[in-house]
Chains A and B, each alone.
Chain A
Amino acid sequence: MAICQFFLQGRCRFGDRCWNEHPGARGAGGGRQPPQQQLSGNNRRGWNTTSQRYANVIQPSSFSKSTPWGGSRDQEKPSFGSFDLGASTNRNKGFGLSENPFASLSPEEQKDEKKLLEGIVKDMEVWESSGQWIFSVYSPVKKKPNISGFTDISPEELRLEYHNFLTSNNLQSYLNSVQHLINQWRNRVNELKSLNISTKVALLSDVKDGVNQAASAFGFGSSQAATFVSPGFPVNNSSSDNAQNFSFKTNSGFAAASSGSPAVLGSSPAFGAVASASSAISTSAPAFGFGKPEITSAASFSFKSPADSSFGSPGFSGLPTSLATGPVSASVPPAFGGGSSVAGFGSPGSHSHTAFSKPSNDTFGNSSISTSFSAPGSIVATDNVLFTPRDKLTVQELEQFQSKKFTLGKIPLKPPPLELLNI
């Protein structure tokens, strides 16, 4: 149910009688049966409850000052009826501040974040227990960007894959892929449920700026992957969802978040402020947008899984693998801390990125990409980490890299050789 805004501000006039939830007063998340809701009623009631919440907000005489209430409500957009915990409330406010989400938060913001995180945990629990479709992106707050680590696969896409594999008599690799996807999802859900420090950091920045899921198919790279249509649309705030999607593989931190990109180029403080991981990144390649530390730290989570996957990561395997092999444990910095890998992340990142897509001119700007090319030195330095020398690849892997698309089940785990990348 909705969190009472006034209670959070310490001035709820209704106290115990209040129809909204007073976290802490009633046990956060525990008491979800507030008296007036009568949720045991029939379905119709259920719907009506939703409107009743609206009624609470807008009409009843007790909330006679509809304006200030309406005002603050507008800001957050109606969370009623959609998100039980109302963790969305005042999200904007809390995050509006920040470039420095971790530098002294006011108690209110801390509460907001706590609400948000609790909301996320709750959502994860519901997701797991409800049997709903698991291959879906997720955002903790309506109208906010997606959290990283989830991919969107529609049932039809999955089914088509099944049929394709059936006809090619390769059902086992379909099954493996699906199992792998399920495991990835489960890992991510568990991460979000357990919420240690680095997850929190990543999450909060995700929610703030949006992470771009390289949506599709971890592995069903097939059609989407090959046609890497460069996301031609402007990165703007109105699209809460990911401006850039590089259908290959997970955010991999390449895409700058929606609102973030202009900021990325300019504001180093943003980097410096967020988790220590950022410091390494900001020095290397802010211009590329994966300076966005939150993305990279988020990326570390999504990369973690591919490391053990049977179908590895098409194309960008260079980066994820190398990062994943680093100590991708709870602490994010080490994953990027290795100087060489960071620098490698900077330029070759975009470098190999462009191998698979037309450079997304909007975020990165053509200039920044050419910059990376002008620094082949750094690429070479990390050669062994990011690229496999050709002679170390098996015939099958080489074949895979050379073909237009990866075949599911045969996707190499090693990064591609430098020579095969089209710059």
Chain B
Amino acid sequence: MLPANHFGEKKVKMSLFGTTSGFGTSGTSMFGSTTTDNHNPMKDIEVTSSPDDSIGCLSFSPPTLPGNFLIAGSWANDVRCWEVQDSGQTIPKAQQMHTGPVLDVCWSDDGSKVFTASCDKTAKMWDLSSNQAIQIAQHDAPVKTIHWIKAPNYSCVMTGSWDKTLKFWDTRSSNPMMVLQLPERCYCADVIYPMAVVATAERGLIVYQLENQPSEFRRIESPLKHQHRCVAIFKDKQNKPTGFALGSIEGRVAIHYINPPNPAKDNFTFKCHRSNGTNTSAPQDIYAVNGIAFHPVHGTLATVGSDGRFSFWDKDARTKLKTSEQLDQPISACCFNHNGNIFAYASSYDWSKGHEFYNPQKKNYIFLRNAAEELKPRNKK
């Protein structure tokens, strides 16, 4: 009873969707009341039956599906699906396996299929209604990114791999519709039609335009000095993709517009996920930015890092909105649901300190947080 009370007051504020019930589920945490452990300092909702190994990717269902369904791919080779109810309760629904760790997941636009990309060099299409998964893509090296492209005249799955290719697949055929060469291994990508951005090793950065058929639009010199880690496209006020945020391993995110009126002024970078804040005299610890996600409604962004924190930012006002408390593990992935009410983030080891810090016994979590209020932009310009 105590844990419930302890959470009680917060519960009202923290309820995801306006109702105040169902926080019992958070009690499924083995640790009950958070006395000394710091696995959930933000007191967010824990997803039940979380994966047994590090979570590499999270994705919420599109608006075409009623309700919210969360997909997570993990290093335990599995992809799990939960239904997230308005009360905050999470119900495990189904699971599929790959023969290698799952690096990326995405939904089709109609919410009927989930695409999963894995280190086993394949990508699969998971039909949720029949709970069957079939292979739809093949690469020569682990597939790092997977995205669904829905264009007026075609639909396909885009896979980016460490074999330095970007392939486009019609799910009905085993041959790719198109193969584009990348300068280096694909590290991260994002797609918002008609734009796609791929960031590769060696600080490669390419923008593609997807109208008609995917083609390279521009190669961009990296605004960051270190390895690219994650990328997310943002939209302008007219809901058209207009630029992207790129995160690196060096605790820094670059905001880059594709065709800004004044590049020197409009494009900028900011430091994040560092230990000493802005005190530059003492050496700070610098952490990698593991994921970036834009709020679908407000246009503000969230970053999650190896330091075990997440932060919300307003890129137009160029201010930080919030930084979380530090979790005891890095945050390896994050995403927003389709209407921006839920922010999901995964707490699991991201290998940022090598194998010595890997503890297979350590529990991995996915947390859900009410994101409607905290991500409101600071001031409209």
List the B side residues contacting A242 at CB < 8 Å.
Answer: 183-184, 202
**Chain A, interface SS category:** loop
Instruction: Assess whether B154 is interfacial by the CB under 8 Å rule.
Output: no
Instruction: Give Cα A238–Cα B218 distance, bound, in whole angstroms.
Output: 8
B contact residues, range:
35 or more
Residues of chain A at interface, number, CB under 8 A = 76
Contacts of B319 in A (CB 8 A): 44, 47-48
Contact: B181 with A215, CB < 8 Å?
A: no
Which among A127-135, A198-206, A337-345 touches the partner chain? Answer: A127-135
In the bound complex, CA of A152 to CA of B162 (Å): 12
Q: Are B279 and A39 in contact (CB under 8 A)?
A: yes
Q: Is there an interface contact between B227 and A245, defined as CB atoms closer than 8 Å?
A: no
- For B229, the closest partner residue in chain A by CB is A154
Q: Is A110 an interface residue (CB 8 A)?
A: no
Contact A136 B226 (CB under 8 A): yes
In the complex, whether A65 has a CB less than 8 A from a CB of chain B is no
- Which of A138-146, A281-289, A368-376 is found at the contact surface with chain B? A138-146
Q: Contact: B202 with A160, CB < 8 Å?
A: no
B163 touches A227 (CB 8 A): yes
In the bound complex, CA of A99 to CA of B202 (Å) = 25
Cβ–Cβ < 8 Å partners of A174 in chain B: 355
Q: Which of A156, A163, A240 contacts B144 (CB 8 A)?
A: A156
Against A, the Cβ 8 Å flags (1 = close, 0 = not) of B245-269 are 0001111101000000001110111
0/1 per residue, A20-54, Cβ < 8 Å to B? 00000000000011000001111111111111001
Q: Is A252 an interface residue (CB 8 A)?
A: no
Establish whether residues A78 and B141, one from each chain, have CB atoms under 8 Å apart when the complex forms.
no
Instruction: Judge whether B203 is part of the interface by a CB distance below 8 angstroms.
Output: yes
Residue A84, interface by CB 8 Å: yes
User: Which chain A residue lies CB-closest to B290?
Assistant: A155
Cβ of A70 within 8 Å of any chain B Cβ, yes or no, is: yes
CA distance A180 to B144 in the complex (A): 26
Task: Report whether B320 and A241 are in contact in the complex, using a CB–CB cutoff of 8 Å.
Answer: no
**B119 proximal to A (CB < 8 A):** yes
Q: Is B128 an interface residue (CB 8 A)?
A: no
Is B183 touching A233 in the complex (CB atoms < 8 A)?
A: yes
By beta carbon, the residue of chain A nearest B181 is: A232
A213 adjacent to chain B (CB < 8 Å): yes
- Besides A32-B280, A231-B181, A238-B218, 15 more A-B contacts (Cβ < 8 Å) are A43-B278, A44-B320, A47-B320, A77-B223, A82-B224, A131-B287, A131-B353, A135-B227, A142-B225, A152-B227, A154-B229, A178-B355, A216-B184, A238-B221, A242-B202
Shortest 10 CB-CB contacts between residues of A and residues of B: A46-B278, A136-B227, A143-B221, A240-B221, A130-B286, A155-B351, A152-B201, A132-B286, A133-B249, A129-B283
Chain B residues in the interface with A (C-beta under 8 A): 56, 75, 100-101, 103, 119, 140-142, 144, 162-165, 181, 183-185, 187, 200-204, 218-227, 229, 248-252, 254, 263-265, 267-271, 274, 277-281, 283-288, 313, 318-320, 323, 350-355, 358
